[in-house]
Structure 1
Amino acid sequence: MLSSKNLIAFSLIAILSLSAIFNPYTNKYLKQLQGDSTFVSKQNGELYNLIVKAADYYQIEPQNAKIDRVWKAMPGYNGIKVDIEASYQNMKKDKKYDEKKLVFVQIPPEVHLSDLSPSPIYRGHPEKPMVSFLINVAWGNEFLPSMLATLKKNKVHATFFLEGRWAKENPDLTKMIADGGHEIGNHSYSHPNMQLLSAAETREELTKTNEIIEATIGKKVTWFGPPAGAFRKETIDIAHSLQLGTVLWTVDTIDWQKPQTAVLIERVTSKVHPGAMILMHPTKPTDEALQTLITEIKSRNLRIGTVSKLMDEERIIKLYGPQNMEQDKKNP
C-alpha cells in the first residue's frame, strides 16, 4: 500500500512522463524526481559521480564581514559551490574527469564591509591567499621609478598613499604611478598627527588631498592611510563621511629607519601571512629588497594585489587534485 505522500509523488512522475514527450524542459525535472541514479546511468555515470563527489568536497559557505575584537573591520569572503551540470557539459565530450574544467559559482556573504560601522582596517580576510603593499609617499622621489619598474616587471599592483602636498608638487610622478595600474589613496595633505586635529582640520586635510589626486589622475579616491597610523574615532568617522575607508597595516618594514636590506626582508618574510597589508615607503632598502620580497611572497602561493582587491569578497579557488584532496584541504 502506497502512502499518500508516495502516491502523490508517483502520480506526479507519471504525469511528467507523459508531458515529457511534448516538452523537453519537463524531461529535465522528471530526471531529477526519478533520482540521480536513473539520470546518471544515461550520462556516463562514473564521470557524473566524480563531479558530484567534487561538488560535495569543494562546497564552502560564505563568511560575513565583521568587526573583530583585535583586527577591527574585516571583509567577508565568498563561499563556493560547483555547478554540477555545467561542469558535466565541460567534460562529457572527453568522457573523463578534469578538475580544471569544474565550473564554480561564488556565493556572496550576507554582511559586507560596507555594512559595518566605521572602523579601521588592519588586514584582509585571513583565508584569502593575497597580500597588499601599502606604499606611503611624501618623499623619496629618487627611488620611485626603480620601484615602479620592479613592480611592473613582476606584474604586481600596489596601493600608493600620497600626501596631497606631494601630489600637487609632483603631478608627473603621480600620473606615472596611476598609469602603472596602481591604486592611489589619501595620505592627508600635510602629514600631520591626525589624532590632534579638530574635525574641521581633519576634513580639510582629507578633502584637499582628494581634490588634488582626482584632478591629477581623473579617479576618485577610496582609501585613507593616516600618517604614522595616528587617528581617533572622529578621524575614522569623518573619513567614512567622505566615502574613504581607513587603512592601517599588518606588517611594518620600518624602512624609514634605513635598515639593512636583509633586515627588512626578514621583518616581512617572518610575519607575512594571508590577508597581510605590508607598509613601506620609497627608500633605498625597500627599493633593493622589493624583488626578493615579491619572489618570496609568491613562492608561498600568495598573490599580491591592491587594497581594493584584497578587500573584495571574491574567493581565490585552489584546486586540490583528487588524489590529495583530504590532505591538501587540511593544509590549505
Structure 2
Amino acid sequence: MITPVRSVTAACVLGATLVVLAACGARETTRAPLPAPSATSPVAEPPTLAPGPAGMTAVFEHGPRDAGRTVALTFDADMTADQGPRAAQGERFDNPGLIAALRELKVPATVFMTGRWAEEYPRQARSIGRDPLFEVASHSYSHYAFTDHCYGLPTIGEEGMRADVERAYAVFRKVGIRDAVPYFRFPGGCHDRRALEALTPVGVTAVQWDVVSGDAFATDAAAVSREVLNGVRPGSVVVLHCTRSAAPTTERVVRSVVPELRAKGFRLVKVSELIGASNGRR
C-alpha cells in the first residue's frame, strides 16, 4: 500500500498492525472466459528491459517523455500471506466497481497482483487475467518486503526472494491467468542492490512509478484526482490501488481522471507499451 508523504514524491506501506492491504477484483458472473489462443497465432512476448550493471534486474520508472502523450494507470492488488483469517472473517480485498469502471471506460491497465490474493479470489484473478484490456504482473506472492525497514512489512531473506516471485507466477498459472507479463513491483517499492541481484535469474523487469496517486486510505476523491492530474507527464506510470476498504475513493478517481486525461490529449496504455517504446532506455 503506497501513500504520499506531503506530496507525490514519496511512497509508503503502513506497518503490519495498520496495513489494510488492497486487492483488485472483478465481477465473477458478468464475463465468460475467453477462448484459449490459437496454436497458429502465438502471443507476442511482452517487451522487457535488458539487465542493468553487473547483470542486475532493470528498474523501469516511466516511459519516454518524447514518444507521445501516453500514460499508464497501474493498480496494486495487495494481500499479504498472513491475511487469510481476515478474509475468512468477511473482509473483502476486492473492488468490483473499480474493475467495472475500467471496463466501462475502456481503460487499458496493468494490475500488479500478489499470488496470495490470486489464491483467495481465483475466479476474479482469472477474469482479470483473461481480459485483453488488462495485463497481470507480479507484486510478489507474500507482499513481504525485499529490504529491511520497509514501512513495517515483514521481510523476506535474500535466499527466499526469487522463490517468492516465482511462486506468484505459479499461482497465476494454477488459477488460469494466461500470459502474465514478466514485470514485478516490489512491495512498498522497497529494493536495493541485493534484491535486484537476487531476481536476475527470474528475468523480470522491476516496475516502479513516477506519480503517486495518494489513493491509499484517502477519503477525498477530488484531492486524489488533483494529485494524479498535476503529476502526470508524457510517459508517466501512475500507482493506484484497488480495494473497497483501504482505498475507497479509487473508483471515483478513475471516473474523474480518465475523461480529463483524454481531454488533455493523453492516451492510456499498459506498462508493456511504455516499456516497448523505451527501446531499452530506463
TM-score normalised to the size of structure 2?
0.67
Distance 2:52 2:196 in 1: 13
Contact 1:131-1:277 within 8 A present in 2 as well:
yes
Asked whether 1:298 is paired with 2:262, we answer yes
Distance 1:147 1:187 in 2: 19
Give 1:54-69 correspondences, 5 Å limit.
Answer: none
Distance 1:250 1:138, change over 3 A: same
Amino acid at match of 2:135: E
Give 1:163-174 correspondences, 5 Å limit.
Answer: 163-174=114-125
SS at match of 1:113: coil
Deviation at 1:114, TM superposition (A): 2.5
SS at match of 2:147: helix
Distance 1:116 1:159 in 2: 23
Computed over aligned residues only, the root mean square deviation of the Cα atoms, in angstroms, reads 2.1
Distance 1:149 1:130 in 2: 22
Deviation at 1:279, TM superposition (A): 0.4
Distance 2:104 2:95 in 1: 14
Distance 1:204 1:314 in 2: 29
What is the CA deviation profile of residues 238-279 of structure 1, one whole-angstrom value per residue up to 9, with x for unaligned ones?
A: 333201100111111121122300110010001111010000
Please point out which of 126, 134, 137 is paired with 1:185. 137
Please point out which of 213, 220, 228 is paired with 1:260. 220
Deviation at 1:237, TM superposition (A): 2.6
Contact 1:224-1:239 within 8 A present in 2 as well:
no
Give 1:30-41 correspondences, 5 Å limit.
Answer: none
Contact 1:213-1:221 within 8 A present in 2 as well:
no
SS at match of 2:208: coil
5+ residue gaps, structure 2, are 1-47, 80-90, 149-155
5+ residue gaps, structure 1, are 1-111, 316-332
Structure 1 equivalent of residue 248 of structure 2: 284
Contact 2:76-2:139 within 8 A present in 1 as well:
yes
Contact 2:129-2:178 within 8 A present in 1 as well:
no
Asked whether 1:113 is paired with 2:38, we answer no
* Higher relative contact order (CA closer than 8 Å, sequence separation 6+): 2
Q: Would you say how many aligned residue pairs link Structure 1 and Structure 2? A: 204
Distance 2:106 2:183 in 1: 22
Distance 1:211 1:275 in 2: 31
SS at match of 2:234: coil
Deviation at 1:113, TM superposition (A): 3.3
Asked whether 1:147 is paired with 2:98, we answer yes
Contact 2:183-2:206 within 8 A present in 1 as well:
yes
Distance 1:220 1:130 in 2: 22
SS at match of 1:312: helix
Asked whether 1:210 is paired with 2:169, we answer yes
Distance 1:246 1:115, change over 3 A: closer
Distance 1:177 1:305, change over 3 A: same
Deviation at 1:142, TM superposition (A): 6.2
Greater C-alpha Rg: 1
Distance 1:314 1:113 in 2: 9
SS at match of 1:195: coil
Write 1 or 2 for the structure with the bigger share of helix: 1
SS at match of 1:270: helix
Distance 1:221 1:208 in 2: 14
What is the CA deviation profile of residues 30-78 of structure 1, one whole-angstrom value per residue up to 9, with x for unaligned ones?
A: xxxxxxxxxxxxxxxxxxxxxxxxxxxxxxxxxxxxxxxxxxxxxxxxx
Runs of 4+ in 1 over 6 A off after TM superposition: none
Distance 1:229 1:314 in 2: 21
What is the CA deviation profile of residues 207-256 of structure 1, one whole-angstrom value per residue up to 9, with x for unaligned ones?
A: 11111112321324310001111111122233332011001111111211
